[in-house]
Amino acid sequence: MRIVVAAVGKLKRGAESDLSERYRERAAKSGRGIGLRSLELVEITESRARDAQRRMLEESIALQNVIPDGAATVLLDPRGEMIDSHSFAKRLRALSDAGRDAAFVIGGPDGLAPTLVEEAELRLAFGPQTWPHQLVRIMLLEQIYRAITILSGHPYHRD
């Protein structure tokens, strides 16, 4: 299984970037034992278009271009489904067992084009609040790492 996290915006050097990379590395290393081939982070430059609809469209096209063919597309969306860590791990396991890759997509401030939203297999929420994309990226990478540790049989403090 290959996992791609595609996000609009670039993290600047500092604490957020360091923490994001820390969870990405930990997940990639831990995931080898359960068949994770790679965990890639792809940053999409924010559109400079003046019109919000145009920005959303340009960013969505750029995001679609980095989603691997046949991958399950999961959008991070505050109106999406809220699932616990075990359920998240089970969904990753199901994708892996089916031989599929996963692409997690974090849109920009204007959102995502309807065509990309319609193609998604899952819209995932980290609660009803609005989170900065930097924190969403970190929380997503942490949850991917947590799911991998659950699937690897490590003790989980909620069990």
Surface-to-core class of residue 84, CB atoms within 10 Å of its CB (0-12 exposed, 13-18 middle, 19+ buried): exposed
Q: What is the arithmetic mean of pLDDT over 47-73?
A: 96
Pairing of strands 122-124, 72-81: parallel
Q: Using the predicted structure, report yes or no on whether residue 32 has a pLDDT greater than 80.
A: yes
Q: What is the arithmetic mean of pLDDT over 71-81?
A: 94
How many Cα neighbours within 13 Å face the side chain of 137?
Answer: 29
Q: Using the predicted structure, report yes or no on whether residue 156 has a pLDDT greater than 70.
A: no
- For position 157, what pLDDT does the model report? 59
What b/e sequence results for 9-28 when a residue is b if at least 16 CB atoms lie within 10 Å of its CB, and e otherwise? Answer: bebeeeebeebbeebbebbb
Average pLDDT, the chain: 93
Report DSSP state, residue 34.
G
Backbone angles phi, psi at 18, to 5 degrees: -65, -45
Q: Using the predicted structure, report yes or no on whether residue 2 has a pLDDT greater than 90.
A: yes
- For position 159, what pLDDT does the model report? 57
What is the percent of the chain with per-residue pLDDT over 90, rounded to a whole number?
86
Does the pTM of the predicted model rise above 0.75? yes
What is the percent of the chain with per-residue pLDDT over 70, rounded to a whole number?
97
Q: Using the predicted structure, report yes or no on whether residue 51 has a pLDDT greater than 90.
A: yes
The 10s digit of each residue's pLDDT in 129-145 is: 888 888 999 999 999 99
- pLDDT tier, 20 (very low <50, low <70, confident <90, very high otherwise): very high
CATH code assigned to 2-151: 3.40.1280.10
Q: Using the predicted structure, report yes or no on whether residue 78 has a pLDDT greater than 90.
A: no
Domain residue extents for the chain: 2-151
